[in-house]
Amino acid sequence: MKNKIKAWVKLLSVQNIGNTKAIQLAKECGEPENFIDDGNEKFWQSEIISEKLKIEILQSKAPGDWQLITELIDRYEIKFVSILDDIYPKLLKNIYDPPPFFFYRGNLDKEIFRRTIAIVGTRRASDYGKMMTRKIAKPLIKAGFTIISGLAYGIDTLAHRTAVENGGKTISVFGTSVNQIYPPENRKLAEKILENGAILSEYVPGSKSEKWNFPTRNRIISGLSLGSIIIEGKKTSGALLTSKFAMDQNRDIFALPGDINRSQAAGPNYLIQLGANLITSAQDILDYYNIKMDDQLQIFPNLTPEEDIVYQLLLQNKPNMHFDAILIKSGLTMGKISNILLSLELKSVVKKIAGNKFMPLY
């Protein structure tokens, strides 16, 4: 694994590569460890980058603090996922700027990403905001949602804590490396999260924390989630930035209305004016996703690889897709698509609606 990590870090250290080109190159040539030192046939034939940049890649060096990185990986039992790995979340893979890789501690599997929702808000939560965070989060947890947030003070902390206290799964996305718990006061909470969830970050262990890391990581919070719930926050808050990312990613946005005289309510109220889904309880979200009380605890059914392709297409193109659009984007035959959609309907994860259109139910 360490050779795999070193290769990715070397690749991203090259000037003028960036996330997008690095991902394109990896998808064409395979994991960077296959070409980072001597290249391979696909690497030399690639037209994604110039010949000059190819030479720069082959001349790239391991980071000077590589020994520290490996020590931290061992000490904190840090795991690594690249965008080519099967465990890499499909929802995250399909955002505009997905991280080429991420590090994590804890437990991740495909099921943890099946039904995900972000809960974010201000660090200076009001009593109303705190009460509603718990009131909304608890039924969602019981319905099998994995709670995604950022471990910041206030709403984020309460969302994670509610998940932990109710035996739910939760994932915290860090603006620091995963060996550095921030804020440090949440260290014990982070340890609890690891028991039934994970903390993850796109930043290399031991890397310096920069102030812009935190707003940048918000795209991952929304990118991992079917929708984002904005509890409280000013118009200029990080929570509103998360909602902007969610909007750009074609994800659902839910906003809790608040007192117009409180600055913490300005953000959600503004989102509602823009057309966000107004919510007053968890039931509003359960209704939105067509989750009934008597089937909340059902385990998401196993999907075949081709069924998962179609299901992910529907998630990425919510609220619904026409049969012809599914046919074109999937690249599968008409007969196969018809059979897959029927199977997904029988598994109660997809619903056919008027106009020969289909919508996901999770």
Is the pLDDT score of 297 beyond 60? no
40-51 pLDDT tens trace: 889 898 889 889
User: Smallest Cα–Cα separation from 169: which of 189, 198, 139, 200?
Assistant: 198
Is the pLDDT score of 78 beyond 90? yes
Is the pLDDT score of 238 beyond 70? yes
pLDDT of residue 348: 80
pLDDT of residue 345: 86
Helix (H) or strand (E) holding 199: strand 198-201
For the sheet containing 321-322, what is the strand order?
Answer: 321-322, 357-360, 350-353
Beta strand 146-149 pairing with 101-106: unpaired
Is the pLDDT score of 296 beyond 50? no
133-145 pLDDT tens trace: 999 999 999 999 9
pTM (two decimals):
0.83
Round to the nearest angstrom and report the end-to-end CA distance of the chain. Answer: 34
The span from the CA of 157 to the CA of 124, in Å, is 11
Please report, as a single letter, which amino acid is at residue 1. Answer: M
Mean of pLDDT values over 145-159:
96
303-344 pLDDT tens trace: 888 888 898 888 878 788 999 999 898 889 988 898 899 889
DSSP state of 219: H
CB atoms under 10 Å from CB of 17, counted, come to 19
Burial profile 318-332: b = 16 or more Cβ within 10 angstroms, e = fewer: eebbebeebbeebeb
Structure confidence at residue 293 as a pLDDT band (50, 70, 90): low
For the sheet containing 79-82, what is the strand order?
Answer: 79-82, 101-106, 198-201, 170-173, 146-149, 116-120, 227-230, 252-255, 277-278
Mean of pLDDT values over 102-123:
92
Residue 62 backbone dihedrals phi, psi, to 5 degrees: -65, 150
Is the pLDDT score of 225 beyond 90? yes
Mean of pLDDT values over 116-128:
94
Helix (H) or strand (E) holding 278: strand 277-278
User: Smallest Cα–Cα separation from 131: which of 163, 160, 159?
Assistant: 159
Domains of the chain: 2-62 (no CATH), 104-294 (3.40.50.450), 305-360 (1.10.10.10)
Determine the angle formed by the axes of helices 238-248 and 266-274, rounding to 10 degrees: 20
pLDDT of residue 331: 87
Residue 8 backbone dihedrals phi, psi, to 5 degrees: -65, -45
The span from the CA of 121 to the CA of 152, in Å, is 9
